[in-house]
Amino acid sequence: MGATSLIICIFSLVSYAIAVPVTCSVDDVGIKEGSFHVIGTGFGSKLQYVCPENEYPHPMQRRICERTGEWTRLKTIDGLFYNRKPECRKIICPDPLGFEHGSVEPFDLQYYIGQTTTYQCFDGYVLHGSESRTCQPHGKWNGTTPICVRRSEEEACTDPGVPAGSTRTGDNFDIDDKVTYECKSGMILFGSKERVCQESGEWTGSEPACYYSYTYDTPDEAASELGSSLNALLEVSDPEKPNIKKDHSRRIILKQGSTLHIYIVLDTSDSVQEEFEKSKESIMDLMDKISAYEVSPKYAIFSFASKTITVVDIADKKMDPAQARQKLEDFQSTEHEDQTGTNIRGAMEKVYVMMSAQKATLKDFNEVRNVIILITDGRVNMGGDPYPVVRQIQYLVGTNASGDARDEYLDIYVFGVGDVDKDIINKMASHKTSEEHAFVLNSHLDLKETFEKMIDESDSVALCGLHKESQGLKTSKQENYPWHVSITITRPQKAESCKGSIVGNLYVLTSAHCFMPEDDEGSVKVIIDDRDAENPDKPIVKSVESILLHPKYSIYSKKNENIPEFYDYDIAIVVLKDDDNNKIKFSQKARPICVPCTEESRRALRLQPGTSCKDQMDVLFFQDIVDAFFVTTENKDLKNMNVKIKLRNQPKRKCDEDALKAPLYSKLQDWKEVVTDRFLCTGGTDPEIDEVTCKGDSGGSLVIKRKRRAFQVGVISWGNKDMCAQKRKSSDVDSRDYHINLLEVQDFLKPHLKHLQFIN
Ligand SMILES: *[C@@H]1O[C@H](CO)[C@@H](O)[C@H](O)[C@H]1NC(C)=O
Ligand SMILES: *[C@@H]1O[C@H](CO)[C@@H](O)[C@H](O)[C@H]1NC(C)=O
Q: pLDDT digit string (tens) for 617-648? A: 998 998 899 999 999 988 778 889 999 999 99
Residue 399 Cα to ligand 2 midpoint, Å, equals: 9
Catalytic residue among 568, 570, 656, 697: 570
Q: Judge whether 62 lies within some domain.
A: yes
The CA distance from 212 to 371, in Å, is 28
Q: Judge whether 18 lies within some domain.
A: no
The pLDDT assigned to 231 comes to: 64
- Whether the CB-CB separation of 118 and 105 falls below 8 Å is answered with yes
Highest mean pLDDT among 288-292, 600-604, 607-611: 600-604
Q: Judge whether 283 lies within some domain.
A: yes
Active site residue 159: no
- Whether the CB-CB separation of 27 and 20 falls below 8 Å is answered with no
Residues 6+ apart with CB under 8 A from 103: 119, 120, 122
The pLDDT assigned to 20 comes to: 60
Whether residues 44 and 99 fall in one domain:
no
Mean pLDDT on 570-588: 90
Whether 11 shows a pLDDT value over 50: the answer reads: no
Active site residue 698: yes
Q: Judge whether 221 lies within some domain.
A: no
Whether residues 481 and 607 fall in one domain:
yes
Residue of 359, 365, 366, 400 with the most ligand 2 atoms within 8 Å of its CB, for mutation = 400
Give a three-class secondary structure readout of 2-32: HHHHHHHHHHHHHHHHHCCCCCCCCCCCCCE
Residue 406 Cα to ligand 2 midpoint, Å, equals: 14
| Of 90-104, 229-243, 258-272, 480-494, the least confident | 229-243
Residue of 118, 132, 221 with the most ligand 1 atoms within 8 Å of its CB, for mutation = 132
The CA distance from 68 to 91, in Å, is 33
Question: In this predicted model, what pLDDT tens digit does every residue of 426-442 receive, in sequence order?
Answer: 999 988 876 788 999 98
Whether residues 377 and 520 fall in one domain:
no
User: How many beta carbons lie within 10 A of that of residue 294, not counting itself?
Assistant: 17
Whether residues 444 and 568 fall in one domain:
no
Could you tell me how many residues make up the chain?
760
Whether residues 256 and 369 fall in one domain:
yes
Q: Which of 77, 57, 329, 345 is nearest to 210 (CA)?
A: 77
Ramachandran bin of 507, using left for φ above 0, alpha for ψ from -120 to 50, beta for the remaining angles: beta
Whether 742 shows a pLDDT value over 70: the answer reads: yes
Whether 247 shows a pLDDT value over 90: the answer reads: no
DSSP of 87-108, one letter per residue? Answer: EEEE-EEPP-TT--SEEEES--
Question: In this predicted model, what pLDDT tens digit does every residue of 462-499 receive, in sequence order?
Answer: 578 888 776 544 556 888 899 999 999 999 888 889 99
- Tell which atom from ligand 2 comes closest to the C-alpha of 364: 13
Whether residues 77 and 131 fall in one domain:
no
Catalytic residue among 229, 303, 601, 698: 698
Whether residues 441 and 365 fall in one domain:
yes
Question: In this predicted model, what pLDDT tens digit does every residue of 345-363 receive, in sequence order?
Answer: 999 999 999 999 999 998 8
The pLDDT assigned to 15 comes to: 40
What is the percentage of the chain residues whose pLDDT exceeds 90?
Answer: 49
Where a domain ends, among 73, 90, 107? 90
Q: Judge whether 10 lies within some domain.
A: no
The CATH number given to whatever domain includes residue 54 is 2.10.70.10
The CATH number given to whatever domain includes residue 305 is 3.40.50.410
Determine phi and psi for 534, rounding to 5 degrees: -60, -35
| Of 6-20, 84-98, 669-683, 711-725, the least confident | 6-20
The CA distance from 367 to 181, in Å, is 34
Whether 19 shows a pLDDT value over 70: the answer reads: no
Whether 6 shows a pLDDT value over 60: the answer reads: no
Closest protein CA for atom 2 of ligand 1: 134
Confidence of residue 585 (pLDDT cuts 50, 70, 90): confident
Q: For the chain, what is the domain count?
A: 4
The pLDDT assigned to 532 comes to: 56
Residue 143 Cα to ligand 1 midpoint, Å, equals: 7
Whether residues 637 and 685 fall in one domain:
yes
Residues 6+ apart with CB under 8 A from 402: none
E-only strand ranges, 268-396: 298-304, 308-312, 369-376
Whether residues 708 and 588 fall in one domain:
yes
Whether residues 327 and 435 fall in one domain:
yes
Whether residues 291 and 411 fall in one domain:
yes
Active site residue 513: yes
Q: Judge whether 245 lies within some domain.
A: no
Per the model's pLDDT, the better-predicted residue between 286 and 315 turns out to be 315
Whether 383 shows a pLDDT value over 80: the answer reads: yes
Q: Judge whether 133 lies within some domain.
A: yes
Where a domain ends, among 65, 90, 115? 90
Whether 239 shows a pLDDT value over 50: the answer reads: no
- Mean pLDDT of the residues in the chain: 85
DSSP of 607-648, one letter per residue? Answer: PPTT--HHHHHHHHT-SSEEEEEEEEEETTEEEEEEEEEE-S
Domain that residue 116 falls in: 92-215
Mean pLDDT on 288-307: 82
- Whether the CB-CB separation of 95 and 110 falls below 8 Å is answered with yes
Residue 401 Cα to ligand 2 midpoint, Å, equals: 9
The CA distance from 175 to 723, in Å, is 75
Residue 428 Cα to ligand 2 midpoint, Å, equals: 28
Confidence of residue 537 (pLDDT cuts 50, 70, 90): low
